[in-house]
Amino acid sequence: MPDIHPKTTPIYQTSVFAFDDLDALELYFEQPGQNYMYTRYGNPNTDELAREVNKLEGGAGGVVTSSGMSAILAAVLAVCKAGDHVLCAEEIYGGSAALLSQELTRIGMEVTYVPTADTYNLQQYTRPNTRLMLAETMSNPLLQVLDIAKLAKETRKQSIKLVIDNTFATPILTKPLALGADIVIHSVTKYLSGHSDVTAGVVVCREQEDLQRVQTVMKVYGLNLSPFEGWLAARGLKTLRLRMKQHSSNGLQLAQYLQQHPKVEKVWYPGLAEHPQHELAKEQGQGLFGGMLSFRVKDDTAAVNRFMRALPSIPFAPSLAGVNTSISHPLGTSHRSLSAEQQQKLGITVGVIRFSVGIEEPEELIAELETALAAV
C-alpha cells in the first residue's frame, strides 16, 4: 500500500482499534496518548479538535465532549463531589441553571446564585465546602460582560476554581485562562464549529491536574463525542477567525440600526457606547464584540409573533452562532426553566428577542428587519 499523507485528517469512524499483540496492549497503558484502543477513551478526530481549541485558548490541554451541557457537567464533576458547594453567576444560560439546580442538587451538591451586583465580592457567599464559581464571558441573553481578571482575583482569594463559559466570545475575542480562569468550556455547537450541523462541547484546563480529572469524567460517564462530529467541528474551526470578524462587524451594524428604530425599546450589545461594560468589552475582546445581541420590542405575544412571521428568511430557531442569522426567544426557550420571578428579575420578558447575527451582507439583514419590524 502506498505511503499516504492526507492534507486533512481522515474520519476514523470506528468504535475500537486493534492491537498486534499483548506487548502493544501493554504499551498503550504504559504510554498514554501514544495509541488508541476505544473511541470512548479517545479518537484521532476528537483529539485533533481538542488540540486545536486548546491552542486557541492557551491551556494545558482540552477534552472534547458530546455537547456544551456535557462540557459543563464534566467541568463541575471534575472539581466537585457530593456535599460540595457551587457558586454560579445569576445571569447564566438557562440550561446551565437547570443542570445545577435540578440535577446536581439531586446528587448532593449545593448551589448558590450570586447576584450581578456582588459578582466581584464573593466572601458572603463562599462556604468551607465551596469549590468553584461558574460564569460566562458574556451573559446569555442580555450580553453583560464579565471582568474575568477581576473575578479571577476574587476566586483565588476565596481559594475556589473559576470556570468560564466562553461560548459567546470564543478565544478570538477573549482568552479567559490568560486572564486568570482555571477552566474554560465551550458549546462547540455554536461558534467553534459554526455551521449549525454539530452538537459538541469542549473543556480546556489551565492545570494538568484539572485536565486529568476532566478526562476521567468524560471517559467514565461516557460523555465522548463521535468521530464524525469531531471531524466536522475541526473543519469548521479552521474558519473561526474569519467568521468572528464578520459576525462582529455585522453585529455592530445591526445593533446600531436597531438602536435607532422606533419599534425597538432597548438593545443589548457590548459594541454600543451606551453598554455599561463597553470599555471592558473593547479591551477584553480585542476591539471585537461578537455576533450576539438582544433587543426588546413591546411586551406583547401577538406583536412578537407578527415580527417572527414577517421575517422573509431569518428563521426562529432555539440555538445560535451559525453562519446564517437566526432569532430566538429566551423566555420561551433558553430561560424557560427559570421561575417567573427569576425571569422578571433578569429582565427577560416576552418582548426580548435574541439575535444571532450571521455572516451575510448586513444590508440584506437590515432589509429583513425593516420588513418584520413594520409588522410589530
- In the chain, what are the domain boundaries? 22-237, 241-373
Pairwise CA distance, residues 35 & 48, whole Å: 14
Q: Which top CATH class is 241-373?
A: alpha beta
Average pLDDT, the chain: 95
pLDDT reported for residue 17: 92
- Least-confidence region, from 50-59, 91-100, 119-128, 255-264: 91-100
Q: Is 190 considered catalytic here?
A: yes
Contact present, 83 and 76 (Cβ < 8 Å)? no
Tell me if residue 175 is catalytic: no
| Residue found under cell 474520519 | 11
Interval 151-204: pLDDT, tens: 999 999 999 999 999 999 999 999 999 999 999 999 999 999 999 999 999 999
252: left (phi over 0), alpha (psi -120 to 50) or beta: alpha
Domain 22-237 classified CATH 3.10.520.10?
no
Catalytic residue among 175, 190, 206, 354: 190
- Asked whether the predicted pLDDT for residue 358 surpasses 90, the reply is yes
Burial class (CB in 10 A: 0-12, 13-18, 19+), 43: buried
Catalytic, out of 93, 175, 243, 296: 93
pLDDT of residue 22: 92
Q: Cβ distance 20 to 202 under 8 Å?
A: no
The confidence band for 88, taking pLDDT boundaries of 50, 70 and 90, is very high
Average pLDDT over residues 325-342: 82
The CA distance from 126 to 3, in Å, is 58
- Mean pLDDT, rounded, for 48-52: 98
Query: Looking at residue 332, what is its pLDDT?
Result: 79
**How many CB atoms within 10 Å of residue 121?**
10
Confidence of residue 1 (pLDDT cuts 50, 70, 90): low
Which candidate, 202, 127, 126, 137, places its Cα nearest to that of 164? 137
Pair 53, 204: CB distance under 8 Å: yes
Catalytic residue among 47, 131, 161, 165: 165
Tell me the per-residue pLDDT of 94-141, one tens digit each, with 9 for 90 and over. 889 999 999 999 999 999 999 999 999 999 999 999 999 999 999 988
Phi first, then psi: give them for residue 230, nearest 5 degrees: -60, -40
Q: Is the pLDDT of residue 295 over 80?
A: yes
Gap between the Cα atoms of 134 and 122, Å rounded: 12
Is residue 79's pLDDT more than 60? Answer: yes
Cα(229)–Cα(216) distance, integer angstroms: 21
CB 146 within 8 A of CB 136: yes
Q: What value does the mean pLDDT take over residues 43-58?
A: 97
Q: Which residues contact 195 (CB under 8 A, 6 or more apart)?
A: 232, 236, 322, 323
- Check residue 4 and give its pLDDT: 82
Q: What is the pLDDT of residue 348?
A: 87
Q: How would residue 340 be classed by pLDDT, with cut points 50, 70 and 90?
A: confident
**Using 50, 70 and 90 to split pLDDT, how confident is the model at 80?**
very high
The predicted model gives 321-339 an average pLDDT of 85
